[in-house]
Amino acid sequence: GRPVFIRLADCHGVSGFGRMLLQRAMQSLNVLPPFSSGEYHAANVSVVYHAKKVLALGEVGVPYNMRMLCNGIVETLGAVTTNIRGSTSFTAHPKIDPNNGEMVAFGYALENKPYVRVGFLDADGNPERTVEVHGVSQPVMIHDMALTKNYVFVFDMPMRFEPERMLKENKLPFFLHDGIPGRFGLLRRDAVDDADMEWFEVAGGMFVMHEANAWEDEDDETVHLIAFKHTGLDLNRFLKQGDTDRSELAHWTFDLNRKEVKCQALINNEGTYAEFPVINERYRSRKSRFVWICMTHNAEGPHPFERVGKVNVDAGLLNPDEGLEAVIHLPPGLSCGEMRFVPRHDDPNMCDGEDDGFLIGYAHEKDASGAHFVVYDAKTMSSNMLCKFRMPTRIPFGFHGYHITEAEFRAQLS
């Protein structure tokens, strides 16, 4: 077989433009689902569980509902109606409020306004409302979002969609502009439109790939965001080499009264590339102390990360040189993708602090001969694995993971 849906890397230059035209032709002949359905994508970026459904997500289209069976077989039940009215895209990184089970997501468009819509879904999976964000004036790439008790973050960074670059410069249609400021938008979670949305301008040449967490102070006057800040990102080189930009785990503070934003690095990672931040999801939308990240000294090649770092946010705010609390070193010849945090106990009261749990994920052999499921202790950060077993089939590198509890597994079966 061969891939049916084109990837971002396939949209390079004149040949990529031709692939896009060919896909549109196949859709017009009903060989592929129509573009307007949102069902034209691979849905292979991330996975999330919500309202008794396991959803496969791909950012450029609607979620696909999957069902995992006890024998290991995964069934595709079909595309699902999203909570974003009028949008054919759905972020690969929706946020679920652990306090009320509400899912908040967004979709972005590249051809027609409004370019961004934010949708809300209640704990039972029922669409609540959609807010059109007219404040985003140009088509841009937005990969992630953040959620606090009262706000939704919209990342309006200058990674603009400019398809003419495919033909004129033989490049990808997305370009990060140094001279155009970026913006963080704060939309209230109880808003019905974007009329009172607050925007904070930041320097150009920056792109936010993945966030870790966001929260508000008790006075509701200050909002905090932790995310990876990328500068010098050129997608044309990044998709080929993976070593063209600088990543920095940063902490932003937004003063809602003074309308000011400040940014500070949490770790000193000079000479190190890092990404894929995760937290204890029980602390989503409230202050969290720890962030776990993937790290490497050499970002070249398809399997770069050979270390997992534990960042102490409180220590990093005082001194970035003290922010990296501990590091797990993978065995020689292995590298990892995103690691997920799993609490040690189902009952939060039985856990010994926020970091009492495990880091789980896949370790890939650098010669591409296979992958292993691995488990580490997230509290001690010992490099000695608690568990390791070889996967019986190929696991692609670079995609996001998710942990589903036994109760959630049973619920999605029904």
> What are 202-219's pLDDT values in tens digits?
999 999 999 999 999 998
Q: Decide if pLDDT at 229 tops 80.
A: yes
**What is the pLDDT of the chain when averaged over all its residues?**
90
Instruction: Note whether 130 and 80 are within 8 A (CB).
Output: no
What is the mean pLDDT of the segment spanning 91-110?
95
Token pair for 137: 């004036």
Closest CA relative to residue 87, chosen from 110, 56, 54: 110
| pLDDT (0 to 100) of residue 20 | 74
Instruction: Note whether 343 and 356 are within 8 A (CB).
Output: yes
Give the pLDDT band of residue 41 (cuts 50, 70, 90).
confident
Q: Among 32-46, 127-141, 159-173, whose mean pLDDT is lowest?
A: 32-46
| pLDDT (0 to 100) of residue 156 | 98
| pLDDT (0 to 100) of residue 50 | 96
Round to whole Å and give the CA distance between 414 and 409.
9
| Count of residues making up the chain | 414
What does pTM read for this prediction? 0.92
Q: Decide if pLDDT at 121 tops 80.
A: yes
What is the mean pLDDT of the segment spanning 108-135?
94
Give the pLDDT band of residue 136 (cuts 50, 70, 90).
very high
pLDDT above 70 covers what percent of the chain?
92
